[in-house]
Amino acid sequence: MLVQKDFPDHHDADIVLRLYEMRREPVMRESRAVLVRTFWPTSVDDVLAVVKNDHPMNAAWRQVTSYWEMAYGMVRHGVLHAEFMLDSNGEGLILYARVAPFLEEYRKQANSPRAFRNAEWVATQTDAGRQLFAFFSERLKKQLAAKK
């Protein structure tokens, strides 16, 4: 069983600041923007398409998903205090909310049973994660409805 930290400390602050610095790197910033602006999956096929090497968003996908899995893995493994980290790092749950409806099938078809496991854990096993995931999921429904 994974244990969450009871209280944030100066080490948490240092890691969160480093994560922020990494998010500001120009290639990472553009990759994040591409996915947030243009990745609106409506089926597992949309998710499977972006993981193909020849897909225009593949590099952004790999960079951003691995970044958030690394960051949320620190929470999952007790390195970072969950509530403190999610005060300023919920963006990865936007992407998770977009793939969550297709995650089980994606994991099977992509032969990737560990895909999004840290984001999923944060979204289901932490109070802040549950709240953010619910918020982003509801917002996603409205955004997708408006696109129709």
Say how far apart CA 129 and CA 120 lie, in whole Å: 9
Confidence (pLDDT) at 2: 67
Global pTM value = 0.93
Confidence (pLDDT) at 3: 67
Say how far apart CA 52 and CA 138 lie, in whole Å: 29
Confidence (pLDDT) at 41: 95
Tell me the angle at which helices 26-38 and 10-24 cross, rounded to the nearest 10 degrees.
80
Which of the residues in the chain have pLDDT under 50? Answer: none
Contact, 128 vs 70, CB < 8 A?
no
Confidence (pLDDT) at 1: 58
